[in-house]
Amino acid sequence: MEKLSDRLVSWASLIDEKTVEQARTSSTMPFIYPHLALMPDAHLGLGATVGSVIPTLGAIIPAAVGVDIGCGMIAVQTQFAASDLPAHRREVREQIERAIPLSAGRHNRKVVATAEPRIAELEALAEAKGFDPASYAGNWREQLGSLGSGNHFIEVSLDEDDRVWLFLHSGSRGVGNKIAQHHIGVARRLAKQWWIDLPDPDLAYLVEGTPEFTRYIAELRWAQHFALLNREEMMDRVIRQVSEWVGTPVEERERINCHHNFTESEVHFGKRVWVSRKGAIQADVSRLGLIPGSMGTASYVVEGLGNAMSLNSSPHGAGRSFSRSAARRTFTHEQLREAMTGIEFRDTDAFIDEIPQAYKPIDQVMEDAASLVKVRHTLRQIVNVKGN
């Protein structure tokens, strides 16, 4: 850990000056307590740095949570070994692609039977919180069980003992994005209304005790739960497809589901604060978590060490070292194919901006995180599913 200022600490050995300056600016907000923590995967974000842990007293910065509220990972350990799997992996990739809507804007044509109880749970939760999610996205029910695009993925992986894991990454989809964008806009409007001078418009905040804050927390928590159930729904579909592929029902040995874009009320350094983790997972002592690499590198099942200076947090992935546009200018389709050698994936140049070389080396990120988590399992993907 490096102390960059009284209110900024960092675990990142690979970090550029623009990212440090963005985090330094965020750390000057008067309600940060006790300090902002940069994770090993930190990189430039909107307003607040991706890969940062931001504890606040009496206020929340909506952009510091991010627009994909509740984005996170889920993994299931199966009873299978690598030797139990059929040789033809393209079959299961295509089965998963048919079972789960992929790419931005894609959703289910109807609410399927497995999603019905989850939809009912979300309807009841929204009613209890006093809002209608359809005011943000009329088709939010059909969005449950869809993946999205960008760095979201579904994978079949093997651990260090060749045991089969199912692994996926997604969040609260379009409805969560619209909820986030609405409240970021509210915070900006209030800052202008009250002549609040901000170092960055995306650091606009909501003050605890106000109607705007209360509504944001209610809708944020709903979106976080939507994201969690969205991953559960997709994982259940993946399990069905893998069961059909292998010809044997999947037996779950372990299931882990964790957010990495979220806010929780927690006690740190003697005070109750709102902890916004924008690209970070909760890593209390013995808490299990998931840290993916890129589409062609290792991912990790980890156990938290409860590091107080990190606000009991750890990185959420490799972290980008090239922007999407820079990656497209720098790398080629052939380099992507080479990076994905031995992995079944949809071979298209649409994924050049997700090439592993566009991310920080995950091995270095995990080395930097050695005081935050310990590794329980190292996973290597053999099948990758992504949306354009």
Provide the residue type at 278 as one letter.
Answer: K
Give residue-wise pLDDT tens across range 185-216: 999 999 999 999 999 999 999 999 999 999 99
| Predicted local confidence at residue 189, as pLDDT | 98
| Predicted local confidence at residue 388, as pLDDT | 87
What are the structure tokens assigned to 229, written together? 């159930």
**Domains along the chain?**
2-385 (3.90.1860.10)
Give residue-wise pLDDT tens across range 308-330: 999 999 999 999 999 999 999 99
Reported as half-sphere exposure (CB side, CA atoms, 13 A), residue 76 has a value of: 22
What are the structure tokens assigned to 178, written together? 């619209």
| Predicted local confidence at residue 47, as pLDDT | 79
Helices (H), the chain: 17-27, 62-65, 90-99, 116-129, 140-143, 173-193, 211-246, 324-330, 333-339, 362-368
Active site residues: 316
| Predicted local confidence at residue 183, as pLDDT | 98
Query: Could you report the average pLDDT of every consecutive run of 10 residues in the chain (388 residues)?
Result: 97 97 97 98 92 98 95 98 97 97 92 95 98 97 96 97 98 97 98 96 97 98 98 98 98 97 98 98 98 95 98 96 96 97 96 96 97 98 95
| Predicted local confidence at residue 46, as pLDDT | 84
Q: Are 269 and 56 a contacting pair, CB within 8 Å?
A: no
